[in-house]
Structure formats: structure tokens, C-alpha cells
Structure 1
Amino acid sequence: MQPVSTLPPTTSETSVVRLPSFLSQKLRFWSLVAMVLLVYVHAYNLHPRYLQPWTAVDEPLTVGSWLQYFLANGLLRFRIPILFAISGYLFAYHDTRAPHKERVRRRLRTLLVPYLLWSAFGLAFTWALEQYPATRQLVLNAGLSIFGPDNALVSGYSPGQLLLRWLLFPVPFQLWFLRSLLVYNLAYPWIRTAVERGPWVYFSVAGLLWFTEFGIPPLFEGTGLVFFALGVWLRKTEFNVLAPPRWFRLGLFAAVWVGLLALKTWLAFCFEHPPFLLMLFLHKTAEALGVLVMWFGTDGLVRVAMSQRWFNWLTGFSFMIYVLHVPLANYVTETALRAWPSQNLLVFLLLPLAIVALAVLLGAALRRLVPGVYSVLTGGRGL
């Protein structure tokens, strides 16, 4: 399972070049909402835990299990594509503010430094849990090790394995987004040239990589290649991203989106091995439809939410929600299900809210008491 640059914009990014007012509000809205939805996806607690487009469900079909899968491996999956597109749009929007080398140096501070710090924190937190038998079992049950069940504990890693997990495959696995975003920022001049000179060629190739789930971690992911570049292309062609295209019909697109995901969810429960290509087609088609429906169909919700002072305040902690929720959600999920083994749906619905509240409270305390530390941990976001 995988995470306004796509993350909330840094203070300097929002102050140098002014975005249109409602577009700025919309980006801040999605910076928060997408992170909350991310927590829900990663709080999925059915078996198998690891979700791919074609994943089946090894548990009985109930209203609760159906809803979990429908949301976590369906309706909420639009968030990564939409955030990559926003990130590409913003990076292109600001590409005249400084030479590319200078912008990359800034991105090392806003992306690489938080990546390394939070990756180290994830390792240290997991190691600490492993020192006590009860919490060690939570780590084992969560199954986050990339080295398999025979080497499941951080305390058993070799120095080389520790380095690999710190730098490339963090325990907080959502950090892959920061890593990929940094790669795309480094490659921005080539991406911009490709989408300006040969958009049909670029998007044909990148779209195929996205559809087939092809990627070479930690270098690039198919989803990022196509949607980050889409954001760049939208900005460079001065496409009006606030106005729906003439062919867009909200009701029709929303109905098809939900219908495809209902079919995909039914297949996941009714087949031990659902048809691979059909599941992939349904997932990717619904993903693209979700981006359109949620971007163009939620303007009223955005206006209402952004008119509330409390919601505006919460948007300052989007990054804290993003970096803090894994592996915490995984370990707390195992704790909750051990105490309430038959309450999968309730745990799925309530646990993310508790984690979001914890991240916001911790972020607010750090920002107030040690703003310098908070700035380093968040790459300057939310100040």
C-alpha cells in the first residue's frame, strides 16, 4: 500500500508566486483530505493486509468487510494520482522563480531531510517496541519487514539491512512518495521538455507504465510518471483546472466510478483468484474517474470547508498526519483487534480518526514549543 507540493506547500512556495484564490484553497483542502484518506487506506485490517489492484479477500463477505474493501482498495485510491498531478502543476507553476539547481537544493531541505528523519524515527520506534514481549508480537503481526518472516525484527537487521531500510525502503512505507517526488523534481527539465515537445508519445508510454503498475523502486513509480507530468502539462498549456471540460458529466462519471468499484469489490470476495486483467482494468479506470469526479465535483464542499477557521487551522498539519500515521496505524490496529477481535469495521472507522487527532495535537505542540524543530521535521510546511 502506498502518500501543496503534493504535500502541503512550504511557506516560501506560497509567498513568492500567488495562486488564484480558489485554486489555493482547493490545494490546501486536498492536502488535508488526501492525508486523512491515506490513513484510512493504511488502516485496512482484513486479510491479506497488503492491497494491490487484484487483491482478493480471505474473509467472509459481510457489510463491514465489503465496505472496508470498497473504500480502502477502491473509492479512496484516487488520492495518490491527484496529489502527484497537483505536485507537478505547482512545480511547473513556480519554475521561473529560480534556476533549477537552486530549486533542487531547496527540495533537498523540504523533501530529503524529512524523509531521512522520519525514516530513522520509524526504525527507532519499531526497535523500541521489539524490546518488550507484548509489543514485539505487535511488530511481528504487522509484518512490515521487507526481509520476510525469518528476519522480521529491526533488532535482527545487519548494518547493511538497516542502511537499506533507512535510505530506500523505510518502515514508514508511505515515505516512498517523498522519495519519488524528489526524483521527479530532479528530472523536471526532461519531463517538461517531453510533455511540451511530444505529449502524445510521453503520455502513451507513461500511461502504459501506470496501467500495468510498472515501476523500478526507488527510482520511479508508474503512477508518478504519468500524473506528475500531467500536472506539468496542465500548467504549461495554461489549461483552466478549475473549469470542468465540456465532456465531463458529474452524475454519469460518478455513477460509473462507483459501479466499477462495486463490481471490483464483488469479484474480490467471490473468487479466490479474481481475474487479474479485469481487476487491473477496473482499478485503473476507477482511479482515473475518481480523480475527475473528486477534483471537479467537490467545489461546493471545498468552499464550505475552507470558510471554517478550524478547518483552515487543520490544513497546517497535513504533513504531520502523513509522516506519523505509519507504522503507528499498523501496530495500533493489531492492538485494537487483539482487544476487540470481532470489531474490524469499528476499528477501521475510528482508529484513523484517533491517529489524525494525535498527529495534529503533536504537531500543534511542536509548532508552538519548538518551531525550529517543527520546521526541520516538516520541511518548512505548516508554519
Structure 2
Amino acid sequence: MTIQPFISQKFKFYSFLSMFLLVYVHGYNLNNSYLQPFTIVEEPLTFTTFFEYLTANGLFRFRIPMLFAISGYLFALGDEQPYLQRIGKRTSTLLLPYFIWSAIALLITFLWQQFPVTAKAVFNAQIDQFGDNRPYTQIGWKGILERWTLVPVAFQLWFVRVLFFYNLLYPLLKLAVIKIPKIWFPISIILWLGMFGLHFIEGEGMLFFSLGIWLAKRNKDITVVPRWLNLKWIAPVFIVVCILKTVLAFYALPNMFYGITLLLLHKITVFTGFITVWFGCDGLVRYCMQKKWFVWTSAFSFIIYALHVPLINYTHQLILPYIKTVALYRLADYLLLPVLITGISIATGALLRAAMPKVYSVLTGGRGL
């Protein structure tokens, strides 16, 4: 099945936009930097704290669901190819880059740990998923192996790990989507709302990956707004709920009532944001995809995704102590550092692609060539 040119453009545009905004989400620098749907802000309400939470834990949260939906849609288009052949290809495009970039993140961390100033930055970042931020020379080979395979310091890699397993489960997911959609989607929505999650399967990705399969199998123009959707009210709901959730996060108490309230507001934000951005930005998509510089830049989406963590986390801790006397230093850090890290990632990708295209192909799973 062929894909419409404009849909292909939208997929490329939103893949790049999602990766670029992901750098901002991971560039969030408030005191409690671990963002979950129900995260509360344990510091005063200021323009900086409000803006960072509004964007990183509100406006930008449509990204991962959109990427899963795009992935499900594209995978469903390839049904004419044998399943095992496609899984073999996904091993090289997802699983191999996962292990390579996990190893690169370990190496970056190890190198930063060798010098007192940068070692302090690594420790202060506190991004080890085991909560053990000792130097790697002290955690032993078992600890290194676990961080390489299961809980990478480049924690964003969870997406490609989970996506690979959804590809493995594709025959079952397709069967559920086609044969029992009225049963499967309510179950998926409940798992999504309940934040169901295992190491290889979780609710948010499963729902939107299934949605992508369903949309592909319907064979309808997904650039046309359905009659039952009205952006004139969905877009305002998206903005208002984002603001409401942000304000509540500053005054909520750490209890179940507020946690569930923030979670539900977050889910409304994700759903309305997904619809608003997909259907409401066609003019921006057309404008950007006509610019050669943007098309060239968007080819490096995967390298931005793979390289930005742990660099942005460590660099935060490295520079923040030296700019505390600057007015609005945290806001400046939040706005500018992601641009710098994105630029470094793109430059790294461009150099690798020019000098060692085969290596670049392996690192990116064949993307951006």
C-alpha cells in the first residue's frame, strides 16, 4: 500500500518535531525534575516554574502518542511483506541501535566520571534508573550489564525497546484491532488511563500503536478532520486544561485525590493535544517541508533522539552553578540548552553521515540517509 505524499510529509515533520520537543522535556530543570503525569511542583509559582511545567508536562506531551501512532500506521502498511522478514528488519532498525546507543551513553557517563568537575555533574544529575549513582568502576560488571541491556542511562531508549516488542506482537494486535475493536479499544483505553506498564509493554504505546494500525486498515485520508471532531472546541480545551493542570500542580497535595485529578487532566491534555496538533498545523507542515534547510535538518531526528540523553542532563548540572547570578538563569538554561544539544546532535550526525555513512546507517537503523 502506498502512502499519500502529504501524509508522508506530516510523518516526517512530526517525527522531527517530537524529537526536538523531547529535548525540551528532558531539559526541564526544576527541583523535582522527574516528570510524571501527576508530578507536583515543590517550589513557588513563578514565570519560570509555570512556563517550564506548562510546556514540558503539558503542551509537549502529545509527542510519544503521536510517534506510536505513526509507527503503528507505517508498520500496518507493510503487510505484503512476510512477518519474519519485517521482524528481522526491525531488529536492525530498533534493537541494534538500542544496544549501541545504550553502550554509547555508558561510555559518555564513564568518561565524564573521570574528572572531578564533570563527575560531580554526573552525580548531581541523578539519572541512574537504579538510583545508584556511584562511579561505574564501583558498581561492577553485573551493574554495567544491567544498565546496558535493561535500564539504560539513556532512559529515552525505552521507546525503541517497547516499539520493537509491539512489532513482535503485531499479528495479535492487528487481529484485535480488526476482529474485536469494540472490545480491544476499551481495554486499551483502560490500560492507558491506568498507566499500565511492564518492562516491554505499556498502556500508552499500546493504545496509540493500535490506533495507528486501525487507521491504516481503514484506508481513509487521515489528513481530513472527521465530522465528529471540531477543532474550534478541542484546541481551546487543550490549552485550558494544560493551564489548569499546571496551576493545580503548584497547589496540589501529595495524596491520591490530587494524583488522580492530575492524571486525568494529563490524559485529556494528551488526547486533545494529539488531535489539535495533527489536524491543526497543516499550514505549518507545508511551509516547513518546502524549506530545504528544514528537510535536511529533519533527517537527523533519530540522532537527536539517541544522543541528547545523557548529555543534556549532565550539561545542566555542569553549567547551572556558574550562571546562578544571571537573571532568569533557569529559564535561559531551559530555552537555550536544548537548542545547543540539538545542534551538537545534528552536527555529529552530519559529520558521521558524510565521513562514515555505513557506520551512520548502523547507528540510526538506516534512517536519515
Shorter chain as denominator, the TM-score bin is over 0.9
The answer (yes or no) to whether the contact 2:224–2:279 under 8 Å persists in 1 is yes
Structure 1 gap segments, 5+ residues each: 1-16
Name the aligned partner's letter for residue 136 of structure 2. Answer: V
Aligned to 1:20: 4
Offset, 1:247: 2.0
Whole-angstrom distance in 1 between the partners of 2:140 and 2:130 = 11
**C-alpha contact 2:136 2:144 (8 A) present in aligned 1:** yes
Say whether 1:214 aligns with 2:196.
yes
Aligned length: 364
What is the match of residue 161 of structure 1? 143
Contact 2:117 2:318 in 1 (8 A): no
CA-CA distance at 1:155 after TM superposition: 2.7
SS at structure 2 position matched to 1:157: helix
1:176 aligns with 2:158: yes
Structure 2 residue 95 is matched with structure 1 residue 109: no
Contact 1:140/1:152 (CA < 8 Å) preserved in 2? yes
The counterpart of 1:339, out of the listed 322, 328, 334, is 322
Name 1:189's counterpart in structure 2: 171
2:20 equivalent to 1:39: no
Equivalent residue number for residue 235 of structure 1: 216
Amino acid at match of 2:250: F
Aligned partners of 1:154, 1:231: CA distance in 2, in Å? 40
Q: Which residue of 2 aligns with 1:86?
A: 70
CA contact (8 A) 2:185 2:207 kept: yes
Alignment partner, residue 360 of structure 2:
374
**Identity of matched residues, %:** 46
Residue 247 (structure 2) pairs with residue 266 (structure 1): yes
How far residue 334 of structure 1 moved from its aligned partner, in angstroms, is 1.1
Distance in 1 between residues matched to 2:117 and 2:310, nearest whole Å: 17
**Residues of 2 paired with 1:175 and 1:378: CA distance?**
13
In 1, distance between residues paired with 2:289 and 2:195?
A: 35
Selected match of 1:68 from 39, 44, 52: 52
Whole-angstrom distance in 2 between the partners of 1:90 and 1:215? 24
Further displaced range: 346-355 or 265-274: 265-274
Matched, 1:285 2:268: yes
1:248 to 229, 248, 254: 229
Give 4+ residue runs of structure 1 displaced > 4 Å after superposition.
none
2:112–2:119 CA contact under 8 A, matched in 1? yes
Code of the residue aligned with 2:61 in structure 1: it is R
Listed one character per residue, the Cα deviations across residues 6-50 of structure 1 (whole Å, up to 9, x for unaligned) are xxxxxxxxxxx6421111111111111110000000000002010
**What is the CA-CA distance between 1:158 and the residue it aligns to?**
2.5
Corresponding residue SS for 1:381: coil
CA–CA distance in structure 2, aligned partners of residues 273 and 374 of structure 1: 46
After superposition, the C-alpha distances for 1:291-334 in whole angstroms (9 at most, x for unaligned) are 00000000000000001010111111011100010000100111
Q: CA deviation at 1:180?
A: 0.4
SS in 2 for 1:58: coil
Root mean square deviation of aligned Cα: 1.2
Whether contact under 8 Å (2:95, 2:161) holds in the other structure is yes
**Deviation readout 1:209-241 (Å, 9 max, x if unpaired):** 111111011x21111110001000111122321
User: Do 1:145 and 1:152's aligned partners in 2 also have CA atoms closer than 8 Å?
Assistant: no
Query: Tell me, which stretches of 5 or more residues in structure 2 are unaligned?
Result: none
Shift of 1:154: 2.6
Q: Is the 8 A contact 1:81 1:223 kept in 2?
A: yes
TM-score under structure 2 length normalisation? 0.96
Contact 1:141–1:334 at 8 Å: present in 2 too? yes
Note the 1:301-312 alignment, pairs <5 A.
301-312=284-295
Is the CA contact (8 Å cut-off) linking 2:304 and 2:345 kept in structure 1? yes
Query: Aligned partners of 1:249, 1:349: CA distance in 2, in Å?
Result: 32
Deviation at 1:181, TM superposition (A): 0.5
* Structure 1 CA distance for aligned equivalents of residues 121 and 137 of structure 2: 14
Q: How far apart are residue 132 of structure 1 and its match? A: 1.3
Following TM superposition, by how much is the alpha carbon of 1:276 offset from its aligned partner in structure 2, in angstroms? 1.0
Q: Give, as a single letter, the amino acid of the residue that structure 2 aligns with 1:200.
A: K
Residue pairs, 1:118-133, within 5 angstroms: 118-133=101-116
Normalised by the length of structure 1, the TM-score is 0.93
Instruction: Provide the C-alpha distance between the structure 2 equivalents of 1:34 and 1:125, rounded to a whole number of angstroms.
Output: 24
Greater mean deviation of Cα atoms: 256-265 or 244-253 = 244-253
Distance in 2 separating the partners of 1:155 and 1:284: 41
In the alignment, the residues of structure 2 paired with residue 228 and residue 47 of structure 1 have an alpha-carbon distance, to the nearest angstrom, of 33
Deviation at 1:118, TM superposition (A): 0.4
Partner AA of 1:285 in structure 2: I
Task: Say whether the 8 Å CA contact 1:82–1:227 is kept in structure 2.
Answer: yes
* 2:241–2:269 contact (8 Å) kept in structure 1: yes
What amino acid maps onto 2:311 in structure 1?
L
